[in-house]
Amino acid sequence: MTAARRSGPPGGGRTMLLAGWLFADLLLVLLVVALSALPAPPPEASATPSASVTGPTATSAAPSPTATRAAERGLVTQPCRFTVNVGYASLGAGGGADQVASQLDGLLRAAGVERRTAGFVLSFGHAPDVNAGQDAARKVNDIINGRLSTVFGKAPKKGYWTGDSASDVVDVDVFFLADANGDTSFPPRCRTSDR
């Protein structure tokens, strides 16, 4: 009877034990790799000046911590809406593009956000046809990229269709980044979006 119990390969339990340890070691390696992939915490801003100059004519002007550190760039969660009149046929290079850029520039100035930076832009072309609406929205985004880069810079832009029967109008919804002081409140002179 004892011989029947030992019919398995010698050391079979030992192999299972080693496999368990190997599995545990692999999990430990994965944990270490995952922890090393986490981003490092941001460095703390120092309120003390790093160096001072001494002497009869030297002055010690230590910048404040807020002046030495750029404002944390948050996003205004409500978009400002700007509506531009466009002629779908005249949005190409030339006068139509100049008119759209001029309209939008005037709207930005009227809202007091001509010096702000856009976080991202959603444009909505009004047209009875989806292709015409999206095409107009994309063309307005191209005009924004080419002629109003100080405000819109590298902000992602997407064109959509509103699905209504009106035409020759594009709504440009702009989500601005926080201002230089880190303020993310809605600009008071902006018109809000109902979307």
| 94/170 same-domain check | yes
Q: Domain limits at 93?
A: 80-176
Average pLDDT over residues 81-105: 79
| 27/86 same-domain check | no
pLDDT > 70: what percent of the chain?
71
Between CA 149 and CA 147 the distance in angstroms is 6
Flag whether pLDDT at 172 surpasses 70: yes
CATH number of the domain within which 157 lies: 3.30.1330.70
pLDDT band of residue 153 (cuts 50, 70, 90) is confident
Residue among 124, 151, 129, 153 nearest 139 (CA): 124
Per-residue pLDDT reduced to its tens digit, 25-71: 787 787 777 777 777 666 665 544 444 444 454 444 454 444 334 44
The residue that leads in pLDDT, 90 or 188, is 188
* 30 found inside a domain: yes
Per-residue pLDDT reduced to its tens digit, 118-128: 999 999 999 88
| 94/167 same-domain check | yes
Q: Are 115 and 71 in contact (CB under 8 A)?
A: no
Flag whether pLDDT at 111 surpasses 90: yes
pLDDT of 63 = 44
Least confident of 4-8, 21-25, 35-39, 160-164: 4-8
With vertex at residue 39, the alpha carbon angle to CA 38 and CA 44, rounded to the nearest 5 degrees, is 140
pLDDT of 192 = 85
Structural domains counted in the chain: 2
* 151 found inside a domain: yes
The residue that leads in pLDDT, 132 or 19, is 132
φ and ψ at 170, to 5 degrees? -130, 125
* 61 found inside a domain: no
The residue that leads in pLDDT, 20 or 108, is 108
pLDDT of 11 = 59
* 53 found inside a domain: no
Q: Are 86 and 170 in contact (CB under 8 A)?
A: yes
| 85/170 same-domain check | yes
Residue-averaged pLDDT of the chain: 77
pLDDT of 194 = 65
